[in-house]
Amino acid sequence: MQRSEVPPPEVPIAIGIREAVIIRGDSTQKKLAIVFTGDEFGDGGAFILNALKQANVKASFFFTGRFYRNPAFKKTIQQLKTNGHYLGAHSNDHLLYCDWTKRDSLLVTKRQFKSDLEKNYYELKRFGVSKSNAHFFLPPYEWYNDSIAAWTKKMGLQLIDYTPGTLSHADYTTPVDKNYRNSEAIYQSILDYEQKHSSGLNGFILLMHIGTDPKRTDKFYYHLPHLLQWLKEKGYQPVRIDALL
């Protein structure tokens, strides 16, 4: 599956299983977690690392086994760990666990799910990160059902997902996609949500991507410095996912 096959950003998440997945932290505290996922692409790595360092902010990164194995990303991963950012799992092969339209229809067996995820954690361990230090699991495509949530829990892990309401997770889309969102629209969606809701971005899990298809030249990660500055001005404290939840 290619990222372009992901449903539009408006599709609701965690339908009927919100008790098994964490999609937001404490909405009374002005803290949020900025998380990045990665599979095929990592072109924003150096820029994101520098932006976070300049702002003195810790973020969380959830990569697939393919990303962790890719020699081109090794230096970035090592720097992320050295700089104190959270490293977590995002599956090994970026599997699609369940049908897009019939969410209760599994496309993997429990054995396949477990084997794939264990491979992801094996790659994490090669970078000195144990499963106990990477307790939170962000599923591929941010798409799952109650079975996936139950299997995750049985492995001693906690399933998480992004907080709905903004378009930050649409930063992977390309101009040829029906659900394409440019960076201006994505950035504005964050500002609008914060303004229109009494709890603002409190407890938010704000998801972005560490890299995107070359066909997307309008890279949202270039807006990260401005976003971090805006959050600071608004009194928010970006923290690692394990400090938020």
* Position 8 confidence tier, pLDDT thresholds 50, 70, 90: very low
The domains of the chain, with CATH numbers, are 14-216+229-244 (3.20.20.370)
**Lookup result for tokens 């084997």:** 115
Contact 64, 140 (CB under 8 A): yes
- Residue 20's pLDDT is 86
Can you give the pTM of this predicted structure? 0.92
What pLDDT score does 19 carry?
56
Q: Tens digits of per-residue pLDDT, 84-95?
A: 999 999 999 999
> What pLDDT is recorded for position 221?
98
The CA distance from 162 to 169, in Å, is 8
Is the predicted pLDDT of residue 11 greater than 50, yes or no? no
Q: Tokens 């699609």 — which residue?
A: 96
Tokens of 97: 């666990």
**Percent above pLDDT 90 for the chain:** 92
pLDDT digit string, tens, across residues 28-65 = 999 999 999 999 999 999 999 999 999 999 999 999 99
Mean pLDDT over residues 91-102, rounded?
96
pLDDT at 18: 53
Task: Average the pLDDT over 105-127 and give the result.
Answer: 97
Nearest CA-CA partner of 159 in 117, 191, 129: 117
Q: State the pLDDT confidence band at 2, using cuts at 50, 70 and 90.
A: very low
> What is the SS3 assignment for 237?
strand
Residues recorded for the chain: 245
Beta bridge partners of 207: 35
Residue 48 CA to residue 221 CA, distance in Å, equals 7
In sequence order, what are the residues at sequence separation of 6 or more whose Cβ sits closer than 8 angstroms to the Cβ of residue 75?
none
